[in-house]
Each structure stands twice: as structure tokens, then as C-alpha cells.
Amino acid sequence: MTDNRTPRTTESREQVARPKAWRPPELLPEPIIQDGYKYRWVRTSTLGVTDQRSITGRFREGWEAVKLSEQPQMQNLIDPNSRFKGEIEISGLLLCKIPKEFVEQRNEYYADQTRRQVEGIEQNYLSQSDARMPVFQERRSTVSFGSGK
């Protein structure tokens, strides 16, 4: 009896595996996150024109450029004409990091600034109120129980 079947050893799951779906490529690679740091891409240029104000402003805030030795997986992606040698710049964006404590302190600072501005506006607005025509009138309702008569 001759057997015309193919041997099982020639079959593999890879041959019958579903093809992977196409996805658009990511514009910027995701860095490997270090504990205690936040990462951000900082603009270094727009349309080939250096944006020095953006870079120096971020550096003064406490952001520092990430060294290529910290993220070696990005070696093939960096811009060969970058003026930031040894650091990661891709398409006019420089990868930077900052300690999380700085980010939290900055967020608290701006939240406090916002709170103070709102309080100042409310005080100024309410100071213009006149008893004959109040700008703001607190409306409260109360519940009272009758004597039952």
C-alpha cells in the first residue's frame, strides 16, 4: 500500500500562520525608560532652521540630552548631521530626560499659579458687586420642619 500523504515533519506552524497585519511606522522610537526620569522629545529645528530658544529654554528648565550610550538601540536612527554628537537627535528632535521630582515640582508650581490667578479674578469680579444688583448671589435652600398643626 503506497501512502501519498506528505510527512508531518515537513509541515510547520509558520507555513499556516496568519500573516501579520500592516501598521504605519512610529514617527519617533520609544526610549527604554529609566526609573526616576521622564522623557521628552525637544525641538531643535524646524524646516532646517535651528530653534535655539526651544533648546536653551528646555535646558534651563532642567531637561538634559540623553546620551547614545544610554539608549544604544537607537544607534541606527540618529541623524548623521546632528550637531549634538553622542546624543540622540532624530528629524530635528532631541531626546531629553528630567528627574520626576522636577516634573512634579513644576506641575505644583503651575497649579499654584493658576489657583492664584483664579482667586484674583474672582476677588476683582466680586468686588464690583452692588447690593442693588449683586453679581453673584449664593443660593441656599433650607429645610425646616413645621410644628405639625
Q: Got the DSSP string for 124-138?
A: HHHHT-BTTB-S---
pTM confidence score = 0.61
Given this model, what pLDDT does residue 107 score? 92
Given this model, what pLDDT does residue 104 score? 92
76 in a structural domain: yes
Quote the domain boundaries for residue 79: 35-99
85 in a structural domain: yes
56 in a structural domain: yes
**How many domains, the chain?**
1
92 in a structural domain: yes
Measured at the alpha carbon of residue 85, what is the angle toward residues 63 and 46, in degrees to the nearest 5? Answer: 65
Given this model, what pLDDT does residue 144 score? 74
127 in a structural domain: no
4 in a structural domain: no
71 in a structural domain: yes
